[in-house]
Amino acid sequence: MFVPAEDAHAARAWEKPVSLSAIDPRGTPDFSGDKDDAAKELEKERERIAKLQELLYAQNTHAVLVVLQGMDTSGKDGVIRHVFSGVNPQGCHVTSFKKPSEAEADRDYLWRIHAAVPGKGTIGVFNRAHYEDVLVVRVHGLVPAARWQARYAQIVEFERYLTLNHVTVIKCMLHISKDEQLQRLQDRLEDPSKRWKFNPGDIAERARWSEYQAAYGDAINLCSTPSAPWHVIPADRKWYARLAVARLVRRTLEAIDPKPPAINFDPKAIELV
């Protein structure tokens, strides 16, 4: 199902190429308030999402898939907690894609992705997704270049197929600056309550920052289509990124405009004893 993205912060890569370096990670497009205003608006968005999701569940004909990508510390987990806490967990499934298991690596890269596609009436959230197969896989050369180069077109086809089969796809890249990542990694190291979140392996990834930015740029430009567009969300201000994703989800649900199904019986003919 095609849902037009009307947000100013949606980099319209399907209209003209997006340059990540030209998008300010500290920007707050389409929002003029401060952190507190954003928290209040987020609370309202959450309530609206929860109500719309109930109708989506009742209707049981459409699914929404939110794909979250972004560098380490870009705030993917926080977006999930802040945007989707409050949604009935019966109708919301989060899947975190980590390093493929042996069984997963034995299959094509979309196999485990396809298996996790949300069912009708539900919202699925992917914490990282098949884009890792043109991000980390490309940056580390885990497969020959010809293999990952062929994937962009395959991903476009796969998402087009989902879109034609009741799944509305929302793709968000949480766009942070290298300086902000440094700050967040330092916070994790210094705050004992956050230290467990620190992964020493993130340092090696950080060293390849510009290669990742190039890979993200290609993923966004080569896989953004009107029916499954990429949204580049400035994410140096966490409160803004959360609100921006919430707005996208709410607008998508409004566009689907879910309604309870018609009943297939005559209420007057039912006798209860």
Could you list the residues that contact its own copies (CB under 8 A)?
50, 58, 77, 80-81, 84-90, 92-94, 96, 125, 127, 182, 185-186, 189-190, 193, 195-198, 200, 203, 260-261, 263, 265, 267, 270, 272-273
Q: Closer to its own copies at the Cβ: 18 or 125?
A: 125
Q: Closer to its own copies at the Cβ: 81 or 140?
A: 81
Contacts for 243 with CB less than 8 Å, ≥ 6 apart: 31, 38, 41, 42, 45
- The distance of closest approach from Cβ of residue 91 to its own copies in the complex, given in angstroms and rounded to an integer, is 8
Q: Closer to its own copies at the Cβ: 22 or 262?
A: 262
Contacts for 67 with CB less than 8 Å, ≥ 6 apart: 126, 129, 131, 169, 170, 171, 172
Tokens 């849902």 found at? 3
Q: Closer to its own copies at the Cβ: 145 or 273?
A: 273
Tokens 């990124």 found at? 241
Per the CB < 8 A criterion, the answer to whether 234 and 240 are in contact is yes
- The distance of closest approach from Cβ of residue 262 to its own copies in the complex, given in angstroms and rounded to an integer, is 8
Q: Closer to its own copies at the Cβ: 32 or 101?
A: 101
Contacts for 129 with CB less than 8 Å, ≥ 6 apart: 67, 68, 69, 97, 113
- The distance of closest approach from Cβ of residue 182 to its own copies in the complex, given in angstroms and rounded to an integer, is 6
Q: Closer to its own copies at the Cβ: 146 or 270?
A: 270
Nearest alpha-carbon partner for 113 in 48, 176, 65: 65
Distance CA 250, CA 20 (A): 25
- The distance of closest approach from Cβ of residue 239 to its own copies in the complex, given in angstroms and rounded to an integer, is 17
Residue 222: which H helix or E strand, with range? helix 209-222
- The distance of closest approach from Cβ of residue 73 to its own copies in the complex, given in angstroms and rounded to an integer, is 11
Q: Which structure tokens are listed for 179?
A: 């300086």
Letter string b/e over residues 184-195, b meaning 16 or more CB atoms within 10 A of that residue's CB? bbeebeeeeeee
Q: Closer to its own copies at the Cβ: 164 or 182?
A: 182
Could you give the angle at which helices 76-84 and 35-59 cross, rounded to 10 degrees? 70
- The distance of closest approach from Cβ of residue 233 to its own copies in the complex, given in angstroms and rounded to an integer, is 18
Distance CA 235, CA 9 (A): 11
- The distance of closest approach from Cβ of residue 6 to its own copies in the complex, given in angstroms and rounded to an integer, is 26
